[in-house]
């Protein structure tokens, strides 16, 4: 990860933190920023976590300009601007892993975590996006979740667990996370499970199984599908 990418990421994180401080009641919504937690296969870094009685909001912040094309099922989305196009990982998939890792880390049911992707830059969505992918209405979306999922005591315990269990914010932690990313995003062959020889799911880390597409343009073709399906829908082409 280059310094420019880190700087852009920090802008997105700062915007999210500022929006939270201005628009969300801090006695109800408890914010933690730039949290790195240990996982079974390395680390994962989360831009923002907001803990409340209404669930745990896991926010992936994107500071991007130009036109944004993507859909929920695509592995990659596209950023288009004068002079070129840029492919980037589907942030919904990226944040799904964050929510799964945090769920496992805390020992809390995954359905009590809310995934939110927020684009802070001067970007325009050129395809229809899921309701949890936003370029405005950040606080309104968070406040729209009104079902009480935790008691006040549980909220306090969750905040404490994250604060005490996260890795410290230091350069060594950043290097550890970058190394974890490189290893996790290596080719499926390189990251095969020691037990079965099958690749690991890029979303949740579980072993993948060979499956056969039964419909669509890829009908009859084999692909790697997550063994955790339907809970996890990670796929890797063969």
What is the residue-wise DSSP string for 170-233?
SHHHHHHHHHHHHHHTS-TTTT--TTTSPPBPTTT-PBEEEEE--SSTTTT-EEEEETTTTT--
Please spell the DSSP secondary structure of 143-164, one letter per residue.
HT-----S-HHHHHHHHHHHHH
- Residues forming beta bridges with residue 207, ordered by sequence position: 200
Distance separating alpha carbons of residues 87 and 69, to the nearest angstrom? 10
- Report pLDDT digits (tens) over 97-127: 999 999 999 999 999 999 999 998 889 999 9
Q: Pairing between strand 66-69 and 123-125? A: parallel
Q: Pairing between strand 84-89 and 42-52? A: unpaired
* Tokens, residue 202: 């890029």
Phi first, then psi, for residue 236 (nearest 5°) are -140, 130
- Report pLDDT digits (tens) over 152-168: 999 999 999 999 988 87
Q: How would you label 130-157 residue by residue, b for 16+ Cβ within 10 Å and e otherwise? A: eebbbbeebeebbbeeeeebbeeeebee
Higher model confidence: residue 92 or residue 82?
A: 92
Higher model confidence: residue 185 or residue 19?
A: 19
Q: How many Cα atoms are found within 13 Å in the side-chain-facing hemisphere of 86?
A: 10
Q: What is the pLDDT of residue 175?
A: 54
Per-residue pLDDT, averaged over 184-209, amounts to: 54
Q: What is the pLDDT of residue 225?
A: 82
CA distances, 179 to each of 41, 45, 51, 75, 184 (Å): 11, 12, 28, 22, 9
Yes or no: say if 49 and 105 are a contact pair by the CB < 8 Å rule.
no
Distance separating alpha carbons of residues 195 and 215, to the nearest angstrom? 31
Q: What is the pLDDT of residue 5?
A: 42
Phi first, then psi, for residue 52 (nearest 5°) are -150, 175
Q: What is the pLDDT of residue 213?
A: 79
Delimit the domains of the chain by residue range: 3-182, 187-238
Higher model confidence: residue 5 or residue 24?
A: 24
At 13, the pLDDT band (50, 70, 90 cuts) reads low
pLDDT of 204 strictly over 70: no
At 208, the pLDDT band (50, 70, 90 cuts) reads confident
| Average pLDDT, rounded, for the chain | 80
Q: pTM for the full model?
A: 0.68
């Amino acid at each position: 990860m280059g310094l420019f990418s880190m700087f852009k990421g920090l802008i997105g994180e700062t915007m999210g933190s500022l929006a939270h401080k201005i628009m969300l009641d801090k006695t109800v919504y408890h914010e933690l920023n730039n949290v790195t937690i240990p996982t079974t296969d390395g680390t994962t870094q989360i831009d923002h976590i907001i803990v409340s009685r209404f669930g745990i909001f896991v926010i992936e912040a994107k500071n991007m300009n130009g036109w944004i094309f993507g859909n929920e099922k695509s592995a990659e989305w596209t950023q288009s601007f004068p002079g070129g196009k840029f492919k980037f990982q589907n942030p919904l998939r990226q944040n799904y892993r964050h929510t799964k890792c945090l769920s496992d880390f805390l020992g809390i049911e995954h359905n009590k975590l809310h995934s939110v992707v927020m684009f802070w830059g001067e970007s325009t969505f050129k395809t229809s996006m899921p309701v949890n992918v936003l370029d405005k209405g950040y606080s309104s979306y968070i406040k729209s979740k009104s079902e009480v999922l935790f008691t006040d005591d549980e909220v306090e315990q969750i905040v404490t667990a994250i604060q005490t269990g996260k890795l410290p914010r230091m350069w060594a932690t950043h290097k550890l996370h970058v190394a974890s990313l490189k290893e996790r995003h290596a080719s499926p062959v390189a990251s095969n499970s020691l037990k079965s020889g099958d690749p690991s799911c890029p979303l949740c880390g579980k072993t993948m199984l060979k499956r056969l597409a039964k419909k669509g343009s890829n009908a009859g073709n084999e692909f790697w599908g997550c063994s955790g399906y339907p809970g996890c829908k990670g796929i890797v082409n063969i």
